[in-house]
Structure formats: structure tokens, C-alpha cells
Amino acid sequence: MASIPSKNVWIRRQQCPCGDWKCYVSYEGEGEETSIAAELVKSERVSSEAMVSPYVGMVFKSDTEAFEYYGNFARRNGFSIRKERSRLSPQLGVYKRDFVCYRSGFAPARKKPIGENHRDRKSVRCGCDAKMYLSKEVSEGVAQWFVVQFSNVHNHELLEDDQVRLLPAYRKIHEADQERILLLSKAGFPIHRIVKVLELEKGIHGGQLPFLERDVRNFVQNRKKIVQERDALLNEKREIDTIELLEACKATKESDEEFVYDFTVDANDRVEHVAWSYGDSVNAYDMFGDVVYFDTTYSSITYGLLLGVWLGIDNHGRTIFFGCVLLQDETPRSLAWAFQTFIRFMRGTFPQTILTDLDPGLRDAIRSELPGTKHIISRWNILSKISSWFSFYLGPRYAEFKSEFDLLYSVESSEDFEIRWDQMVSMFGIVSDKHLDLLFSFREYWVPLYIRGCLLAQMATSAYFKAVDMFLKGVFSAQTCLRSFFEQVGISANFQSHEHHEMQYLQLKTNIPIEEHARSILTPFAFNALQHELVLAMQYAASEMADGSYLMHHFKKIDGERFVMWIEDSEQIHCSYGGGKAL
């Protein structure tokens, strides 16, 4: 805030050149008179919003502060201002600033091109001499700006409040309104409807927004132009990056015959889809490709392309890389090409099980291209979405909802599942929720009773998905283009294939012969998984029945008895809990 001198002060009225009456607060000192502008209310009392009029010798901390102050003064007095000139010196930098009335000076004459008709727009400039000139002085390293000239004499009419707010300098569209305007425009609202919606939302009469309809139109057009220019630059960079990616693939193929890649081009002969894999990855798939996870959650640096990564797990529990694809879009045709190409890379071998995110497009593509593969949505993929979908909507009841949802994983029949589902939906009043509809339509892919007996290889666990997340973050860290991303994928895939684990001493827990034999042939990861099942098996008792089957029951649980039958010819075990499992 500018400093205000301590001098004798009084109030007087004076008529402006335009004929309007203003109220002034005046003070006198050192042989000069300066005034403080204030609006005269109808009762002819001084408004409490009166502010000091700029005066020669007035001090500001910066030229920005001075411009803001003069602008506020101008708005209260019916005009606006603009920056006119500045002067620069090597020692002080900018040391002179001229601020003038928006109607200062005269518009330069424009030459009209011959044969073209142009609208004659009358300039608002009329040579007004109202101004505030500033000069900077530096004392003991501290800069201050002093008013060296000031005039508030105008040769044009000053505007009332309801008119001055419409001057271009004051017609600002604030950030919150900008976001709302863009959202409505994207939804297809015409400009006049957008203005009406804003007026209704703010509860004001028509024409009372701090901006005009043409300001909204100009804002939308300018933003579209910016987006178009940005998209054009992005497309150009993507095209260059994609070409460099293909060059990297070609160079890798020349140095490694086992490296495989493929791509397609669109109608304009531009690269559309790209996929690749490495010899070590293909060989790893031969051993560990029974279960595959197809991740589509990472998309940074891909210019809007869909990135898909095929991953697996080896007998040490490590995440292994099988292949990678970049798709132009997520259409059925594109996804079909991705799975066809992957199977071709993997020498025609289909996985037994594939895990993916919750996505109808992926489901349809897998049904079409991997008809014999069991498609599963892991609990990790489901629960990661539940929180974002319902925590805010349900508020304090979310914890209760989460508990009810977790119980769905323990139901033992489709009838029980549907009963519990209907009860949960009714309890929380979310009958028509689109997310629940999607989950219910995918129930055969994530509810345990439907996927019982499927091979998962310890991949449908939170531990595995945390390892996947770390693997992908390592690939994506500090990547700035597709070629560097490609190179980092190669480094990570190669590191995984050559990583070794030291032998560990594995302690026996049951001392039964099968556990001791397993310790001698299995990796620590595989042995721990088997040992966990053996420990759980010790909690059950088996009673042989007359038909050769066995009745299994837990020592401490009354309910939950199961009939188990061993079919020697087909080497299968069947359980009344559902499903069969070949040994």
C-alpha cells in the first residue's frame, strides 16, 4: 500500500469536465494540493470505500504495486488504464514507467488493401491526458518508485459502475469460470446457453456477469486454437518418436536374431501399432508362460497411445517380461492385432490363464483371440478400483460397504452370491450404479467360486502386483521419448533374465517325506508356496467313504465338510467344493 502523508484534510465537491459531480477529500501542505478520490453516494455522504488519489511524491515499493493501485483508482472513477512506455538503464534496469488512461493518444491510420472491404471500427482513443508517471530511486540497495507526474483531467465522459465493469481491462474470466465454460463447451452447449447457465448458477440477472458473451466466445475459440496447435506439435513429435522407435527395433534385430517386432501403418502411411519382444523373453515364456498378466495401466510418454505389457512370474517369484505393444486406439481391431501378434511372437503357444484389468474391450478381444485361455480379473485389480469408485460417494459408510464386499469372496454358490449382492446393493442404496453393474457383469472373472481350480501361479496376489508396479516404474523412470523407453525395457528384461538368487537353507515344518523331497528340488519361492499348503493340510482330517471318496473336514470348524475323490485313470482330484485339478 502506498504511504499517506499526515496533513490537514477536508472534504469538498467538484464538478468533473464531463458534468458529473464527484466528492474529494483534500489536504494541503508544502504549497501544493492533492486529492483523494471517493464516490459520492446519493445521500451526498462520502463512501467508506474512498481511496487516496495518486499525487506527486507518492511512494510505492514496486511498479507492479503502483499499476495495481492506479488501476483500482481508475475503476472507482469510471475509466481504465494501460502501460504506455518504460525506460531502461544498465545500472537500474527499468527506471521509468508511464501509465495512462485507456483513451490516451490516437489510433494510427490503417491502410485498406485495394479491393477488400473492412469494417471501420471507431477507436476509443481520443488524446486523453490523464496519466501517472513513475521514476525509480535506489537508496542503500532498496528500490522505491515515486510518482513524478499525475493528472486526472479527462477529455471524455467517465463511466458509472455498471458501465466501467464492461471495459476490456476489467472483463476477466476467472479460472473457476474458465473450467466451467470449457466443460459446458465440451458437452456441446452453445455460447449463449453457457452464459445463461453461469448466470443461473451464480443467481444473478442477465448481463450481470463480469464478462460479456463475446468474451466467452473469444475464450473458447482461443482455447480451441491452443489445443489444436498443441495437438499438431504432439502429433509431429509422436511421428518422429515412433520412427526412431522402429529404427531402434531394426538395429536390435540386426544384432540379435532372436529379437522379434512388428508394426502396422494406417491409411496415411503413418505408423499405427508397434509390438516387440526379446529372445530371452520368448524362451522364458516356453517355461513360465502358463499364466500371463497383461498390464495396460501405464501411459506416460506414449502420446495417448495405449501401452500394453505382457508379464509373467518365474520359479523364483520374479516378475519377467514377455512382450510390449503400443496401440493407436483401443478398438476391437487393434486389441485383436495385439493378441494375435503376441501369440505369434510366442511361437503359437497360448497361455492357460491371462489376468487383466477390468475392461470390456480386453474381455471381448481375449474371447475372440484366446478362446481356450481362462480370463481372470484379480482381487488386486478389483479392490484398487472399489476405493476410488465408492469411498467419496458413501463417505463414513464406505468401511461397512468394504466389509460387505469382501464377504462376496467367501460365498460358495452362484445363488448365494446373487442373494448377498442384492442385499449389499439394497443396503447402501446403489441399485443403479454403473460401476456395480460392470462388476456384476464381470462376476465370472473375479468371484472365487467361478475361477476355482484355475492355475494362477501366485500371480493374483498383492505381493505380485506390487512387484509389477516396481518393475514398470523402473522402466518408466525419467523416460522422455519412445526410444529411451524401448532401451530401458531392454535393460530391465535383460536384468530379469540374468538375475540369480543365492541358495537358502529351508527349514522343514511338517517333517513328512513329500516336504523333504520338495526342499531338495524346488526353488525357495516354490517350496514356500508348497510348504504353506502342507501346513494348512495338517489342519484337516480325512475319512474314507465306502465309494472310495474321502470326507474332508477342518478340526475346529463344524461346517464346511467336502467330499474329495481321486480318479486314478485321469490323474485328477475332484472336490464337492467345485472344480477338478489335474496332478
- Residue 503 — pLDDT band, cuts 50, 70, 90? low
* CATH topology assigned to domain 257-378+446-493: Nucleotidyltransferase; domain 5 (3.30.420)
Distances (CA, A) of 307 to 280, 297, 332, 360: 21, 8, 15, 17
CA 466 to CA 33: how far, in whole Å? Answer: 75
CB 390 within 8 A of CB 396: no
CA 198 to CA 184: how far, in whole Å? Answer: 10
pLDDT, tens digit, for every residue of 349-402?
999 999 999 999 999 999 999 999 999 998 888 988 888 898 888 889 999 999
CA 431 to CA 232: how far, in whole Å? Answer: 44
Order of strands, sheet of 260-265, starting from the edge strand that comes earlier in the sequence: 260-265, 271-277, 319-327, 306-313, 291-295, 353-355, 374-376
CB 23 within 8 A of CB 46: yes
CB 363 within 8 A of CB 369: no
Does pLDDT of 299 surpass 70?
Answer: no
pLDDT, tens digit, for every residue of 9-62?
333 334 444 344 344 443 333 333 333 333 333 333 334 345 789 999 999 999
CA 540 to CA 552: how far, in whole Å? Answer: 7
Does pLDDT of 573 surpass 90?
Answer: no
Q: Average pLDDT over the chain, rounded to whole?
A: 82
Concatenate the DSSP letters of all residues of 366-431 into one string. Answer: HHHH-TTSEEE--HHHHHHHHHHHHHHHHGGGHHHHHHHHHHGGG--SHHHHHHHHHHHHHHTT-T
Could you tell me which residue, 570 or 273, shows the higher pLDDT? 273
CB 25 within 8 A of CB 35: yes
Closest by CA to 420, choosing from 401, 435, 434, 407, is 407
Domain ranges of the chain: 58-107+123-165, 171-255, 257-378+446-493, 513-577
Q: 3-state class of 138 per DSSP?
A: strand
Please tell me the pTM assigned to this model.
0.60
Identify the pLDDT of residue 87.
92
pLDDT, tens digit, for every residue of 407-421?
999 888 899 999 999
Residue 27 C-alpha cell reads as 489536504
Residue 250 C-alpha cell reads as 531394426
Closest by CA to 518, choosing from 454, 526, 121, 510, is 526
CA 490 to CA 479: how far, in whole Å? Answer: 13
